[in-house]
Amino acid sequence: MHDDRRITEVRLDRFVRERIIPAVYTRTVPLNLSTWDVPDEPVTVMEALRHDFVPQEPGAAWGKPWGTKWLRLQGDVPQSWGTDPDTTVEIVVDLGFTTEAPGFQCEGIAWRPDGTIIKAISPRNQYIPLKLLGSGMAVDFYVEAAANPDVAQGWTFAATPYGDKATAGTAPQYRLGHIAIAELNQTVWELQQDIWTLSGLMHELPMEQPRRHEILRALERMMDAMDPDNIAGTAAAGRQVLAEVLSRPAYASAHQLVATGHAHIDSAWLWPVRETIRKCARTFSNVVALMDEDPDFVFSCSSAQQLAWMKEFYPELFGRIREKVKAGQFVPVGGMWVESDTNMPGGEAMARQFVEGKSFFLNEFGIECREAWLPDSFGYSAALPQIVKSAGSRWFLTQKISWNQINRMPHHTFNWEGIDGTRLFTHFPPVDTYNSELSARDLAHAERNYRDHGRGTTSLVPFGYGDGGGGPTREMLAAAHRTADLEGSPKVRVGSAESFFAEAEEEYSALPVWVGEMYLELHRGTYTSQAQTKRGNRRSEHLLREAELWCATATVRTGGSFTYPAAELKRLWRLVLLQQFHDILPGSSIAWVHQDAERNYAAISAGLEALIAEAAAALLGEGPHDFLLNAAPHARDGVPALGAAERQAAGQPATVLEQDGGYVLDNGVIRAVLDADGLIASLSDYASGREAIAPGQRGNLLELHRDTPNEWDAWDIDAFYRRNVTRLDQAQAVRVETHGQSAVVVVERVAGSSPVTQRIVLAPGSDSLEITTAVDWQESEKLLKLGFALDVRADRSASETQFGHVFRPTHVNTSWEAAKFEICAHRWIHVAEPGYGVAVSNSSTYGHDVTRNIREDDGGTTTTVRLSLLRAPKFPDPAADRGHHELTVTIRPGAGIAEAVEEGYRTNLAPRMVRGAKPAEPLFTVGNAALVIEAVKLAEDGSGDVIVRLYESLGQRSAGLLTANFPVAKAYATDLLERPVEAPGVAPAGDGGVTLALRPFQLVTLRFVR
C-alpha cells in the first residue's frame, strides 16, 4: 500500500477550513448598530442605558486602551429561519477578536434591555442564542465591550505602555468585525466536533498503531461521501461514516480523567482589579448559560472574593449562580478568599485565607470545600499541609510545579508532609495545564505523563479558558462527551474535584510521600519585585495583629463599653487577603495594579491606626503616663508580652568612637566595628565573645547585579545574574549622628544612578545592629543585594515561614539544591553551627540567598547571607520599583532560633507609645517562650468568646501553661473556623488555663468562653 497519509491529512485540513467552518452558519443578516462610548471608567448597565446611542457604521475602529464602548444591536429574524429542526438562530458578535490569546484582548457581555445579563462575548465564544434574548423574532439588546489592550504582546516581554492608563494612549485598539443574525446548522456543527476529536486523536496515536490509520481512512471516506458544494445537505451522511470509529470503546486499561470545568481568573494581573470583576461576570454568565444547555456540565470556582464581587455588583447573576450551586453544577472549590501566593503571606494571613473563604462558601451556599485549590501559585510553603488540615480540608491541588526549570516532581498523586508532620493528599494534574481545551493532545499528554501508573488510574483535568477568563465552551463539552469512552483516548468523565479526590483516595492508598516545601524552580524574582507592595503587605499584617489584640483586650477589660469592631476588621482583612493574590503580592502585575495596591495599603494603615488608637484610649484611659503597648509575643523593655505598661530602661547607652578611620559601636551587649566605608569589619556579642564576620570579609555589603532574565522579567531571577556584579564598597560620606542614647552612623553611597543612604544604629541594650537602607531607586534591569559574610560553618539555613521555619541546604550537592539559588524567608533567616548562630531579620524583604565557601588560609567556612532588596524589571511594569524605598535589616550575633524568632517580631512591631492613666494586663500569658501567640481576637460568631492562635516556634517538643487573665467559663481547642476539635497535646488546666505539650511547629487555636 502506498503511503498517502500526508496527502489525506492536508486534504482534511483544507476541507475543514474552507468547507466545514463556513457552513456552520448557513445564512446571516447584518444587525443595525448604535453606540455610546463611556468617557472614563465603566458604569453600571442602568446608567449606560440612560444615555443616547448614535448610529455606528460596521467595521469601525474603536476602543482606546481600557475604554468601554456600549453597542445596541437591533434587527428582525427572517420569518423562514429556525423552522428547520436542524437549525437554530444565533447572534454572532465579533468585536475585532484575534484567534489567539482569549482573555488577553477585547471582551464583551450582552445585556437585555431590562438590565439582566445574557452571556459574554469573547474570542472563541462569539454567539448568543436567540432564545436567550426573550424577545421572539425581534433582536434588541446591548453589548458592553471592554477594550482591554493586549499587554502580553505575544509574550515577547518587551516594555509596554499599556499597563498604566497614564501612558496607554488613546488610539483605537480594535475594529468591529462581523455582527449579524445567523442560522446555525446543528448537524454541520456536530460534524465539525466529530472531526476535531478524531483528527486530534489520530495525530496523537503511534504511526504503527492500526487505530491511527482506521481513523484516517474513516475521515477520508467522510470527505468522499460529502458534497463540497452542499455541506449542509450532506453533513448527516458524513457523520454516519464517522459514527463507527467514534463508537469504538476505550481500552479496559485506559487512563481515566475527571474533567471539571474551570476558568482560572487572575484577580489582577495584566488588568486591574476593576476589570477582573467584569471578567468574572463575563465568565460566570457563560458558565450558567452552558449549564442550562447541558445538565451534566460541572464547573469548579475557586475564589470566594470573586463570588463576593458577583454578589455586590451583579446580584441577578449571583442569584443564578446560587441556583446552579444547589443543582450541583456550579461547585465552589478551594475554600480560600483568593488563590493567594503561599511563599510570602504570614502565618495568620494564610490562615485567614481559609477562614474567610470557607466561611463565605458556608454562609452563602452551605458548601464546605474540602480541597485546597492553587493551580498557579509560585511554589508552596511547607507550612501549608497543617494550615489546610486545620481549616477542616483534606486535599490539595496544584499545577504550577510542572513549570520547574530543572527537576521533575516524581509523583502526580502523593502525600505531602509539612513542617509539623501533617500529611495532605495532593494531586498534580498530569495534563500540565489548568486551561485545557480537552483536545486530544491534552488528553494524550495526561495519560502519557501520569507518573503513578500501576498504582493509580485516575487524574484530574481542569478545562476552560483561563488566566484572563472565559471558561469552558460548548466545543469543549462536545469533546468531553465524545471521549467518554473512545478507543485510543483516555476515558473522560465530567465531574467535580471532590468526586475525583474521593475516587483517587479510595483507589490509591499506599501513597508516596513528599516532605517539605514544594519549591518552584522558576519565578524566584517574585520574592523581590514591587518592594512597596511587599512593604504594604508586611505592615498591614502586623497592624492587623495589633488592632485585633488591642480591640479584643479593650472589649474584655472594659466590660463591653468598648465595642469590638468585627465588621471593620473583617473588611480590612479581606482587602489585605485580596492583595495577597499570586500576581499582586509577588509583584508580577501591571503598574495600575500596584498603584491600586499602594493606595489600598495606605487606607488599610489609616483604618487600623484609628482602631488601635480608639482601643488604646478605652483600655488605658486618659492620664499623664506614657505606656508601651507591646503587641509582640515576647516581653519588651520590661513590658510583658501582649500588655501595656511603662517602659523600663533598656540598658546602658550605646557609644560610638572613631577608630582607624572607622567607628566602633558598643552598648555592652554587642560590639560592631565599621571600616572607613561603613562596612562591618567586626561584629561580636559579649556573651560568647565570638566574632561573627569572616576574616578579611565584610558585612553590610551592597552589591549591584545585572538582572536580565531570559523571560518573565518581573517573575524571574536567573542564576547567571551572579556572574556580573558591582561591589558598592566605596562610601561617598560617613558621619556620626546623635539620636538619644543610640549610636548612629550614616553612610552615603551610590548604586548605579541611585543615591543610597544607610543608617547603622545600635540602641541601648539591643542584641542586634540595625541597618536602614534608604534608596532613591532609578535603575533598570538591576538587582540590589545586601550581604553579610559570616564566620559560621552552616550546612543549612533556617528561614521563617508560616508558623515555623524551614531548613534548606547551603551546599549544591544535587540539582534540587542547586535550583534553590534564591529562597524566600519571612521576618528572619538564621545560619548556625553547633553552639553558635547569627540571625538576620528584615522589615519587608522576602528574597534571600545563602552561599558557603571554604577559606584557603585557615580552612574555615564563610557562610554569606544576602537579602534581595530591589529589582528593576521592564515587564509588565517598565517603571517597576522606581522611587524612594526604606528597608530595615538587623543582624544579631550569638543568636539561636529562639532569638531569631524574637528578632523578627521586634523588627516588624515598632514600639507603640500611648499616653494613658493605667497599664493593661495581658489577656494571656504563656509559661514557655517557645510557644508563640500569633493572634488574639474575638470569635467570628459574635459571641464575645476570645480566640487565641499559637504555635510551637523552635521545631522541638515544647510544653507550657497558657493562662487566661480574665474570667473564663471553659476553654477548648478549635479548628481555624473556630469549631471544636480534638487537638493532641492540649488539655484544660482549670481556672481558664490550658496545658500545652506540642510537637514541633504544631499550630493550635483555642477558644475561651467568657
* Residues in CB range of 386: below 8 A, 6 or more apart: 418, 419, 420, 422, 803, 1001, 1002, 1003
Rounded distance between C-alpha atoms, residue 433 and residue 402, angstroms: 9
Long-range contacts of 4-11 (CB under 8 A, 24+ apart): 5/213, 5/216, 8/216, 8/219, 8/220, 9/216, 11/220, 11/223
Element (H, E) at 798: strand 796-801
Pairwise CA distance, residues 593 & 268, whole Å: 7
Do 318 and 285 form a contact (C-beta atoms < 8 A)?
A: no
Distance CA 539, CA 534 (A): 9
Show which residues are catalytic: 376
Q: Which stretch of DSSP H or E encloses residue 118?
A: strand 117-121
934's CB contacts (< 8 A; 6+ apart) are 347, 348, 545, 633, 803, 949, 950, 951
* DSSP state, residue 403: G
Cα(814)–Cα(793) distance, rounded to whole angstroms? 19
- Give me the residue label for grid cell 540539582: 815
Largest CA distance in the chain: 103
Which residues 6+ apart lie within 8 Å of 863 measured at CB? 789, 790, 792, 793, 794, 797, 810, 831, 850, 851, 852
Angle between helices 273-293 and 304-313 (to 10 degrees): 90
The strand pairing partners of 453, in sequence order, are: 456
CA–CA gap between residue 508 and residue 252 (Å, rounded): 18
Residue 319 burial (10 A CB sphere; 0-12, 13-18, 19+)? exposed
139, HSE (Cβ side, Cα atoms, 13 Å): 29
Q: Where are the beta strands (DSSP E) in 325-438?
A: 330-336, 371-373, 395-397, 413-417, 423-427
Is 152:112 a contact under the CB 8 Å cutoff? Answer: no
- Give the C-alpha separation, 326 to 281, whole Å: 19
| Contact call for residues 263 and 272 (beta carbons, < 8 A) | no
d(CA 42, CA 146): 9
Contact 500, 260 (CB under 8 A): yes
- Sequential DSSP letters for 915-981: EESS-B--SEEES-TTEEEEEEEE-TTSS--EEEEEEE-SSS-EEEEEEESS--SEEEEE-TTS-B-
132's CB contacts (< 8 A; 6+ apart) are: 118, 119, 289
